[in-house]
Every structure is written in C-alpha cells, then in structure tokens.
Amino acid sequence: MPELDGFQVIRAIREREQAAGGHLPVIALTARSRKEDREQCLAAGMDEFLAKPVRAAELQAAIERLMAVVPRNDRPEPNLLDPPVLLAACGGDAAILNSICQAFQARLPDQLASLQAALAAEDAPRLREAAHKLHGMVAAFSTTAGAVVSQLEDEAAAERLAACCPLAEQLGAMARQLLQEVNGASIDTLRRLAAV
C-alpha cells in the first residue's frame, strides 16, 4: 500500500474497535511465508495468515475458520458433526467408527477439563499444548469445531489469553453438541447425511 503498511492498517482498525466495539475479521496476505511472519501478523491483530500465491481452497478454508469463531448467540449450529470427515476417519468401517466414537466420548471431557484448567491458570504454553492435543481428536468429527480449536491454539501460542476465553466457551458448547451427535452414529446415518 502506498501510504500505510498492513501493520499500520490493522493497528488503526483494532484501535477503532476498542473505542467503537465490534471485530472486523482480517486475513493477512503476504509474499512472506516464514513461521516468524505468521506469528508477527497474528501478534499484530490479524486473525488469519495466508502466503502468496493465494490458492482458492486455502482462502475458503481461512474464511470458514474465521466464520466458525464469530459468536452466534451462544447457540451451536446444527449439523456440527462432519459426516464425510468422520467416514474418512473410520474408513467406512462400522467397528472402527464405534471404537473412535467411544474413545471420543470417553476422552473429550478430560481433554476439555485440561484446556479449561490451563486457561484458568493463565498458562499459555500449557493451553497451547492442550488445544493441540484436542485438535487432533475433534477435527476427525467436525471441521468447524476443529477450526475453533486451531484458532484457540494460535491465540495461546501468541499468549493472547483474553482472546482464548470466548473461543474456549464456544468450544465447550460445540463439544456438548458433538457428544450428543456422536451418540448412536452409524455408517448408514453418516452416509445419508453426507449425501445431503
């Protein structure tokens, strides 16, 4: 940009939001792709980071991740469970589906409790680690919930604990819904939902 760089722009946007309220989702687009560049952009207040050349699928995924963390009156969305992803995770095998659903139901509450404990202790490294572990499990059931966990992990890595609180609340609501949706899941039901 001729007069302001992206960091000056995001600083001005975030300062205005502090006075007026609201939050404008911002995706950083840059030719630089190092880990340090990503961390610098996120620390400056940008919500997502993409390196050029931008691919349509990556941009769409970034937009979906941002939309997943927009508050929706604390009500989880319908169809949080992602049938194609879960079918791929179990390979279409009913026994494997049953096994991973049971493991999900057994482990999710403990992993959420670990995440909440790290957040309550304001321990950013422990929170990032808890989110990282949780992401591996949640993403196999819901790309939407997986995106929220990923954003939470990024915020914890950047030590922005204030941004982690609403994400953790949203994740808790999503987890409760996922536990209900996973209960009694079958290959036939997943295939039928995936076809819709």
The tens digit of pLDDT for each residue in 9-23 reads 888 887 777 766 677
Read off the pLDDT of residues 115-171 as tens digits, 9 standing for 90 and up.
Answer: 999 999 999 999 999 999 999 889 889 888 989 999 999 999 999 998 998 999 999
Element (H, E) at 88: helix 83-90
> Sign (positive/negative) of CA torsion 81, 167, 171, 124?
positive
Q: Is the pLDDT of residue 85 over 90?
A: no
- Among residues of the chain, what percentage have pLDDT more than 70? 90
pTM to 2 decimals? Answer: 0.59
Alpha carbon of residue 3 to chain centroid: 34
CATH of the domain at 41: 3.40.50.2300
CATH of the domain at 191: 1.20.120
- Residue 167: domain span: 83-195
Q: Extract the tokens encoding 187.
A: 């290959």
- The domain tally of the chain equals 2
Q: What is the mean pLDDT of residues 64-88?
A: 68
